[in-house]
Chain A
Amino acid sequence: MEYLINLAILFCIYGMLALSLNLVVGMTGLLSLAQAAFYGIGAYACAIGMTSLGLGFFTTVLLGILVNGVLAFIVGKILSRFQGDYYAIVSAGLSIIVFSVLLNWKDLTNGPLGIFGISKPAVFGYQLSSNLAYLLLCLAAVVLSYFFYNLIDKSSFGRTLKAIREDEQLTRSLGYNTKHFKSIIFVISAVMSGVVGAMFASYIAFIDPSTFQLKEGIFLFTIIIVGGLSSARGSIAGALILISLPEILRFIGLPYETAAQLQQIIYGGLLVLMMVLKPQGLFGKYKM
């Protein structure tokens, strides 16, 4: 049971990250690879706040929101000048910079040694020390994120974002300041990732920079491609598949000598098959 609870928590965490990324990539059509950076900043804000500053979990979440918000606002302004492949390259650069800072700013982040002893949050004086209680918090956060995504999706703001995705020049010709819209959604997405980062740090109790590398951003990208772009359901389904599939493959009784390698091949093969059958992802509303 504990195993399934842990998987469910992991699924919630990646589900929320996918929702936040889908706001930028799916809804607005911006190829952002910076998500792992904001996820990491949120996690480190929580870890440093709780272990070094003695702050409570929710205060550290606010701290993460503040740091991510300011950084995303500045970076978003720069990124809003780019489109397509250029956007991907610049955002990947941000991810690499943040990873390097986490790795090298030893006085603050403890460098490659990471930070131990991050405790679980307390809600109204009740410590969520059991994984089941923590899962409930995560589920509540996923549901909130899901509705928040749909709220944006159905709003005039969301419609403008989709218009930017379809044709930015045309949208601009209609009088919309597209750079402004791109910056705002980038900040919202970064703040959401930061909150998830704090939840991850608190769940896993130990973080180090290796979790927040560019490849994590690419993994999140895969989740939303498999699940479907511009779809909240797709984000959730993608996270469910990419988190549970490697775990299911542990149980299929492959030959002991080559089990790990075969699992990777089957995993890759299934992803290819899914993309061939459903190129726009399971619930995707458009293809990249």
Chain B
Amino acid sequence: MKQKIILSLILSALLVGAAWWHFRPRPEVADNAKPEVKIGIIYPMSGDGAVYGEAAKAEAEMFFRDFNNASSCCSYKVIFEDNQLKPSRNAAIAQKLINLDKVDVLVTFLSDFGAVVSPLAEQNKVLHFSIATDPAVASGKYNFMASSNVEGEVQKLYDTLNQNLVRNIDVVIVNASGPQSVLDHLEKLAQKEDGVKIGRVHHVNENEKDFRLLLGKIKQNNPDYILVLLTMPAIDAFMRQYAESKIAIPVTGIETFTYLHDKTLAEGMWYVDSAAPTPEFLEKYQAQTGSRTTNDAGYLDLILQAVTTGYEGAQTTNRDKVADYILNNFNNAETAIGPVQVNPDGIIDGEPVLKIIVNGQIQIMGEE
């Protein structure tokens, strides 16, 4: 009996919730109001990845604080949904945003999540922007991807190592899709007869904090360089233990030192990057939100810029035309990560440059 009462209560709550949602009061819209463009942003807002979600939310608020008044075309509304970093939830959340909230644009974070939403966006003709590294996420007319220029970054690193007559490197890599994509490209380049060769690849898990044994092994292998493909917080632990171990083998990376909290640990070291937010963006973000940002907040700014450029430029809410406008007109735009290019597949990325840490600050090499 008690079971039935509890189950009835739960079912009643479900029905009341659904009914409330259906009949909830909606604000009156004036006839001359600008058409609304709804942007559904799916991010981890709670749990392990909440740090990214919080930075993204602050960024979106910052972006639209004054933009809506200035817009000549539309009124933009952002809806955040929490995916708790669970890919299985993403399809249902995307369907909620598409079918109930009727969003015009979806934004996802990481390839794993973008890949689930990408076919749904194409099927429902909703614009989808993903902060991802796997090009498959950008397939189709409505899918775009804001990413690091992985291919360009790897080529730049490979060329620079060759110029410095480096012959073999050991790689320390975290088991995640972004770094793996970098390694795949590098392995292809390293197959050439002359040039840099990859010695040992040391895989570590995302939560790894103790690298002392690994550093010992690297010391034994004695490569010319150590390529580190770690993200925060592992990179700080690695660089601290690297400094303590007094190994004389130099370290480099791709985007690596951007993630480093204490940049003095990489003093004088160079790396390749096409992704980091510009100092202007970082300054503005810190001034308006009072906190430091994550790298992807720069990408979210870029995406919101692409979306608003598309709508404002096309002067319509027709998503076909907006997608075309972005493809044709967003090239060379100045964004939060510097100037970007858009390729015909809808991949938006920046130009890879060599950076160096000087006095604990990131500087572009040659400009320091």
Contact = CB atoms under 8 A, between A and B. Distances in A.
A260 B20 CA distance: 20
Interface string B4-22: 0011001001100100110
B51 to A, nearest CB: 13
B82 interface: yes
A60 B10 CA distance: 38
Contacts of B163: none
Interface string B22-61: 0000000000000000000000011100100100000000
Interface stretch (A27-35, A155-163, A175-183, A276-284): A276-284
A244 B14 CA distance: 9
A269 interface: no
B119 interface: yes
B3 A116 contact: no
Nearest to A247: B92
Interface in A216-267: 237, 241, 244, 246-248, 250-252, 256, 259-261, 263-264
B8 to A, nearest CB: 12
B115 interface: yes
Contacts, number: 106
A113 interface: yes
Nearest to A131: B95
Contacts of B91: 6, 10, 203-204
A282 B123 CA distance: 39
A246 B134 CA distance: 29
Contacts of A283: 3
Contacts of A56: none
Contacts of A246: 89
A2 B175 contact: no
B88 A200 contact: yes
Contacts of A210: 85, 87, 112
B165 interface: no
Interface of A: 1-3, 5-7, 10, 103-104, 106, 111-114, 116-117, 200, 203-208, 210-211, 237, 241, 244, 246-248, 250-252, 256, 259-261, 263-264, 274, 277-278, 282-283
Interface of B: 2-3, 6-7, 10, 13-14, 17, 20-21, 45-47, 50, 53, 80-82, 85-89, 91-92, 95-96, 98-100, 111-112, 115-116, 119, 134, 136, 175-177, 180-181, 184, 203
24 contacts: A3-B96, A3-B99, A7-B92, A104-B175, A112-B180, A114-B112, A114-B115, A116-B136, A117-B136, A204-B87, A204-B88, A204-B116, A206-B87, A210-B85, A211-B87, A247-B92, A247-B96, A251-B20, A252-B17, A260-B50, A261-B50, A264-B46, A278-B2, A282-B3
